[in-house]
Structures are given as structure tokens and as C-alpha cells.
Chains A and B, each alone.
Chain A
Amino acid sequence: MSLTAEALVNKSLELVSPPSTYLQLNKLVQDPDSAIDDISAVINTDPALATRLLKIVNSPFYGFPSQINTISRAITIVGTRELMHLVLATSVINAFRGIPASLIDMDDFWHHSFATAITAKLLAEECGHKATERFFIAGLLHNIGSLVLYQSMPELAGEAIRSAEFGHEVQFLAEQRIIGFDHTEVGYALARKWHLPHSLQEVARFHHRPSDAEEFPIDVAIVHVADILVSAVPFGHSGDSHVPPLDPAAWDLLGLNELQMPLLLQQVGEQIDRLSSVMLTQDAS
């Protein structure tokens, strides 16, 4: 019987730790009786994570005027949701540190992901959304399935990268042909297995075919367009050497003017290095 995306994810979970702190926090924020102290207590049980979060919120990317010294204070300033997203992002980056550099330069991979995150957030702002942090994390994790492929089947994933690079097809189609499924199916399976929010599950699943989105068409359309904008520059390298095809309906859904995009990407360029440097620095601990 051939391998499925779900079976690959189940096998991969023996190697990759789930984002347990994030899952605990997710439960906690759904409890109406929980308070900031409860949330900070959970984060503080992992001192390395707490230290990393404080470094991130004190970085030039956020640019807060005064020092934030405690997780409780960080929650007050940054907000519970945004801090939870940072917990999730940090956990995922740490979970996939073992991917061989001979397959893909992971700094380049994350550079693409961070740029997609910033672009998705800026696009959401342009579209008039107020709470835009969910678009940031959706952009950041849209290629989470690629990480599983790179980690668990590096030879076949490498073949798909090379096939795409040498001009035979876009990467997700190369994956389908060579592996039997692609990173979007794997990303969806992993996001479900980890009980990530449904919006993140849909973005992982449909970012290359946004018209199939079910519950979150706007989230999916924004990340679909963000991925294309970032690949066009390009910022970083996700493994795909080509700009993915645009679904015109997704672009129309956003109602934006294409002439705004170069300026938006210039803003991404101004923010990306600050974000990458703080997110990718490894702690000495």
C-alpha cells in the first residue's frame, strides 16, 4: 500500500516534538476563568522558551520604547494571541532544526516564511482587517508540510526540488508526481494532528488552490498572494525556484490595486532582516 500524507505525519511525529506549550496555552485561553498569570505560568515552565520570547519582544522588530522584562508584561504589551503565535513559531522552528543543509538552506527557507508572514499581515491591513496577527502566523507556517517532507523523506523531497529547479514543473506538482502527495496535504495532516486552529489548517492545505478554501477563503487568498509576491522578489527560498501560479479569483477577492504591491514589498524588505535575525538566533542554553 502506498504511503499517505497522514501516515507520513504519524511516522514523523516520532522525530518531531509537538508544540506542547502552545497547545496548553490554547486550552487555557478558551477557559473564561484563566488570567494573564495563568498564561505566563505555563510559558515560564519552559525557561528557554520564555527567554527567547522576551528576546523577540525586545527586538528592533517590535521596537517598543522600554524594556519588557517579564512574560506577564509581554502579554500585556503584545497581547495574548500574538504571544501565543510567537510560542508556536518558536516551537516549530526548534522542532525542525535537524533538516540537512545539503537539501535546503534552512535560513533561506525561514527567510521566505518570515517574508510571507510579514507580507500577509500587510496585505490584511491593506484589506482593512484590524486583527492581523493571525495572518502573520498563517504566512509563517503555510509551508509547514515542506518541513515534514524535508525531514522525513529528504531524498524524494530533494528530487522534487531539483525537478522543479530544472524547469520541469512547479514544486508541488513535482512532489505529487515523485512522492504521491505534496507539501499542502502533509501540512494539513500535521496541522490537524497538532490541533492547530482551523484557519491554519486551511492555509496549509489550500494556499496553492485558494478557490477550494472552505471556511477561511480570505486567510487562504491572502497567504496565496503573499507567497507569490515573496517568490517574485524573491525573499529567501522555500524550495521552489519558480513563482507559483496565481489564482486570479483569490487576487480579486482581496480588492487591492496591483500598483500598491512594490511599495508593500519594500516595507517587507525593511522588516525582514530584523525579524529573521531574532527568530533564527540559537540560544546558548
Chain B
Amino acid sequence: MSQPTLSEQELKKREERFRYVDLNHPLMQVLFQMQLPAKKQVEQHL
């Protein structure tokens, strides 16, 4: 999985989604940086 090249808006969305997690944890770091194919992902909720 590649490192994300996120727009500023996408990064803001992701930061909001991960607002309540500890980003110092190795698992959360991997998940925060992960980019999967966008198919069927639901992004409109934030």
C-alpha cells in the first residue's frame, strides 16, 4: 500500500475521522497513512 498523497481537504477529513484515536500507536499510524482503492468506501459522512 502506498503512502498517501492527500489533498489538504482529504487530509482534514482523515484527521477528523481519526480524531479520537492515539496516532502514536503503530497500528493507528499504519491505518492513518493507508490508502486503499476507493471502491465502495463511504466518504460522504465527514
- What are 25 inter-chain pairs, A to B, with CB distance below 8 A? A108-B42, A165-B46, A167-B19, A170-B20, A225-B27, A231-B17, A232-B17, A232-B31, A232-B32, A233-B34, A234-B17, A236-B42, A237-B45, A241-B46, A242-B20, A243-B18, A243-B21, A244-B20, A245-B20, A246-B27, A246-B28, A251-B25, A265-B34, A265-B36, A272-B40
Task: Given the known inter-chain contacts A233-B41, A266-B36, please indicate yes or no for A261 contacting B17, CB distance below 8 A.
Answer: no
Q: Output the nearest chain A residue to B40 by Cβ-Cβ distance.
A: A273
Are the CB atoms of B36 and A245 closer together than 8 Å?
no
Are the CB atoms of A261 and B20 closer together than 8 Å?
no
List 5 extra interface pairs beyond A111-B40, A234-B43, CB under 8 A.
A167-B19, A228-B27, A233-B41, A243-B17, A262-B30
- A149 nearest CB across to chain B (Å): 18
Residues of B contacting A233 in the complex (Cβ-Cβ under 8 angstroms): 34, 36, 41
- A246 nearest CB across to chain B (Å): 6
- A186 nearest CB across to chain B (Å): 21
Q: Which of B1-46 contact A (CB under 8 A)?
A: 1, 16-22, 25-32, 34, 36-37, 39-43, 45-46
Instruction: Report the bound CA distance from A236 to B44 in whole Å.
Output: 10
Q: Output the nearest chain B residue to A273 by Cβ-Cβ distance.
A: B40
Q: Which of A165, A234, A244, A261 contacts B41 (CB 8 A)?
A: A234
Are the CB atoms of B42 and A167 closer together than 8 Å?
no
Q: Which residues of B contact A (CB under 8 A)?
A: 1, 16-22, 25-32, 34, 36-37, 39-43, 45-46
Q: Output the nearest chain B residue to A262 by Cβ-Cβ distance.
A: B1
Are the CB atoms of B21 and A245 closer together than 8 Å?
yes
**Is A33 among interface residues, defined by CB-CB distance under 8 A?**
no
Closest A-B pairs by Cβ, 6 of them: A262-B1, A232-B31, A258-B27, A258-B30, A241-B45, A262-B34
Instruction: Report the bound CA distance from A248 to B45 in whole Å.
Output: 27
Instruction: Report the bound CA distance from A231 to B43 in whole Å.
Output: 11
Instruction: Report the bound CA distance from A108 to B37 in whole Å.
Output: 18
- B17 nearest CB across to chain A (Å): 6
Residues of B contacting A266 in the complex (Cβ-Cβ under 8 angstroms): 1, 36-37
Instruction: Report the bound CA distance from A169 to B32 in whole Å.
Output: 19
Residues of A contacting B45 in the complex (Cβ-Cβ under 8 angstroms): 165, 234, 237, 241
Are the CB atoms of A229 and B31 closer together than 8 Å?
yes
Are the CB atoms of A235 and B16 closer together than 8 Å?
no
Residues of A contacting B39 in the complex (Cβ-Cβ under 8 angstroms): 269, 273
Are the CB atoms of A262 and B20 closer together than 8 Å?
no
Q: Output the nearest chain B residue to A108 by Cβ-Cβ distance.
A: B42
Instruction: Report the bound CA distance from A225 to B20 in whole Å.
Output: 15
Task: Given the known inter-chain contacts A245-B21, A251-B27, please indicate yes or no for A235 contacting B46, CB distance below 8 A.
Answer: no
Q: Which of B22, B25, B31, B37 contacts A261 (CB 8 A)?
A: B31
**Is A263 among interface residues, defined by CB-CB distance under 8 A?**
yes
- A135 nearest CB across to chain B (Å): 18
Are the CB atoms of A269 and B40 closer together than 8 Å?
yes
Interface centre among A231, A243, A259 (most CB of B within 10 A): A243
Instruction: Report the bound CA distance from A240 to B11 in whole Å.
Output: 19
Task: Given the known inter-chain contacts A108-B42, A167-B19, A170-B20, please indicate yes or no for A243 contacting B36, CB distance below 8 A.
Answer: no
